[in-house]
């Protein structure tokens, strides 16, 4: 059996794509996945273009693996492995990848991976190199086999691409325009996943709350309506959705938290900056006050709502005063979790040509100051969970040998607690005894009925 080694970078949508690539190569081409690159006939990198660092890392990692794998295979008398690059760098750079890493033989985009079996057989027949990174007119979802390796948490892409063109962001260029999958296709995929044992369904989209999918009668449904239908499917015990955009919010998406018990009380709503001047320069389409008003509504609808966000510091023109506005917003909201980054200029985006670049040492210092505050809030909010009983979906063992299990609460907090491996994949009520910066610890309150 041929072996596949796949390395994924980037966001959850890329993780979903990587899993679907594995499904497809397994079902249609007879590949088996391996964690040992030296054993692989096909080495596939599913890449991310969002910041410059990710791209640099890709090329250094590719070079390192190429040397390692092909030396090992040569010594074992095996033919060289085939190196393939997919994902967002492939979409943005296309054949340029062959120039930077000439041993790569296949380049494909996030919208062409359903054609992988054809590409691979063409390469086998004709040799040489192949680049297929068009934004395909047909839907890849119609071509893919059903998900094969379903765990307790399963993702479903419901919306792809982006029309927002925030000044800093490459996603509209790497993923193409906004597009929603039809309601029936999503429900069918969820039915399959729940039937295979998935307990939590994560609905994914670059701007998931921009979802506007058609049902069988031609009526367009928004995300709230889609969630209501997913909740009716048998076996779906938890629903989560990421990532939402403040400018695509509506009241219904707030109200469903009061109606749907399976909906996880977690809302990832990136704000990027607390300064109206910077939000405007970023082209985010909302201001600070609008953002804060959605947070208030979300917290009002459910007292347990965990709020997560993303931040960029050092966007061109960001002054100390603007940055102070971001810090003030952090104090005001007290986020449960956040991702924060230094601005990275990306070729082809509007901000790449903006004057007033912030010097890297100032950006790094601001990032450290921001993270110090974000971490303090995260710790404090984790500690507030102490004494409560949280329902934890057990994902696996915590650390080998620790005898503990690890899982997530509806608010996406990680919880470690002692228990038998038989509980993996089950939802267990856990009494929280300690809160740390990145996790909680506790003890099972009532053992689950297995």
The smaller minimum CB distance to ligand SF4, of residues 97 and 166, is found at 166
* 90: contact with ligand SF4 by CB under 6 A: no
165 binds, among ligand SF4, ligand SAH, ligand F3S, none (CB under 5 to 8 A by kind): ligand SF4
48 binds, among ligand SAH, ligand SF4, ligand F3S, none (CB under 5 to 8 A by kind): ligand F3S
Q: Which residues, 192 to 221, sit near ligand SAH by CB under 6 A?
A: 206-207
Handedness of CA 83, 84, 89, 91 (dihedral sign): positive
The smaller minimum CB distance to ligand F3S, of residues 88 and 154, is found at 88
The smaller minimum CB distance to ligand SAH, of residues 66 and 346, is found at 346
Q: Name which position in 346, 366, 385, 441 contacts ligand SAH (CB under 6 A).
A: 346
Stretch that binds ligand SAH, among 21-29, 343-351, 363-371, 422-430 (CB under 6 A): 343-351
> Are 344 and 53 a contacting pair, CB within 8 Å?
yes
User: 123-151 in b/e burial notation, b at 16+ Cβ within 10 A?
Assistant: beeeeeebbbbebbeeebbeebeebeebb
Nearest to 269 by CA among 297, 309, 311: 309
* 180: contact with ligand SAH by CB under 6 A: no
Strands 2-8 and 42-47: parallel
**SS3 state at 333:** helix
End-to-end alpha carbon distance in the chain: 36
Number of residues located near ligand F3S, criterion CB under 6 A = 13
The smaller minimum CB distance to ligand SF4, of residues 103 and 165, is found at 165
Q: How many CB atoms lie within 10 A of CB 233?
A: 17
263 vs 311: CA distance, rounded Å:
25
Stretch that binds ligand SAH, among 61-69, 337-345, 367-375, 427-435 (CB under 6 A): 337-345
Q: Which residues, 156 to 185, sit near ligand SF4 by CB under 6 A?
A: 162, 164-166, 169, 171-172
174 binds, among ligand F3S, ligand SF4, ligand SAH, none (CB under 5 to 8 A by kind): ligand F3S
Structure tokens at 196: 């295979």
Cα torsion for 185, 190, 191, 195, to the nearest 10°?
Answer: 150
Contact positions vs ligand F3S (CB under 6 A): 10-11, 13-14, 48-50, 87-88, 170-171, 174-175
């Amino acid at each position: 059996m041929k072996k596949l080694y796949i390395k994924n970078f980037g966001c959850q949508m890329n993780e979903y794509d990587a899993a679907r690539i594995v499904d497809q190569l397994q079902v249609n081409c007879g590949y088996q996945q391996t964690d040992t690159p030296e054993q692989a006939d096909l080495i596939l990198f599913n890449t991310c273009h969002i910041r410059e660092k990710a791209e640099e890392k890709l090329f250094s990692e590719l070079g390192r693996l190429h040397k390692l794998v092909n030396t090992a295979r040569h010594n074992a008398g095996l033919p060289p492995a085939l190196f393939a690059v997919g994902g967002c760098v492939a979409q943005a750079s296309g054949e340029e990848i062959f120039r930077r890493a000439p041993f790569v033989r296949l380049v494909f985009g996030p919208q062409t991976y359903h054609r992988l079996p054809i590409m691979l057989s063409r390469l086998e027949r004709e040799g040489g190199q192949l680049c297929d990174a068009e934004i395909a007119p047909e839907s890849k979802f119609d071509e893919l086999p059903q998900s094969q390796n379903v765990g307790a948490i399963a993702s479903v892409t419901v919306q792809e691409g982006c029309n927002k063109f925030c000044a800093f962001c490459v996603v509209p260029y790497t993923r193409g325009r906004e597009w929603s999958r039809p309601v029936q296709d999503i429900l069918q995929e969820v039915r399959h996943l729940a039937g295979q044992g998935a307990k939590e369904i994560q609905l994914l989209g670059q701007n998931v709350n921009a979802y506007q999918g058609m049902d069988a009668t031609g009526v367009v449904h928004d995300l709230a309506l889609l969630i209501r239908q997913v909740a009716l499917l048998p076996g779906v015990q938890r629903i989560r959705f990421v990532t939402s955009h403040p400018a695509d919010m509506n009241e219904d998406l707030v109200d469903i938290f009061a109606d749907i018990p399976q909906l996880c009380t977690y809302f990832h709503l990136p704000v990027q900056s607390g300064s109206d001047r910077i939000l405007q320069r970023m082209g985010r389409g909302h201001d600070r006050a609008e953002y804060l008003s959605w947070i208030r509504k979300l917290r009002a609808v459910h007292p347990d709502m965990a709020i997560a966000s993303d931040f960029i510091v050092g966007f061109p023109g960001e002054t100390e005063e603007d940055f102070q506005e971001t810090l003030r917003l952090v104090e005001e909201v007290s986020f449960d979790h956040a991702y924060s980054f230094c601005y990275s200029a990306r070729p082809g985006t509007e901000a790449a040509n903006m004057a007033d670049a912030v010097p890297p040492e100032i950006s790094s210092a601001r990032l450290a100051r921001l993270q110090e505050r974000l971490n303090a809030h995260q710790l404090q909010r984790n500690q507030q969970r102490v004494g409560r009983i949280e329902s934890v979906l057990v994902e696996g063992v915590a650390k080998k040998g620790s005898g503990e299990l690890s899982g997530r609460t509806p608010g996406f907090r990680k919880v470690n607690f002692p228990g038998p491996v038989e509980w993996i994949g089950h939802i267990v009520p856990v009494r929280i005894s300690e809160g740390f910066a990145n996790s909680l610890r506790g003890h099972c309150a009532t053992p689950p009925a297995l």
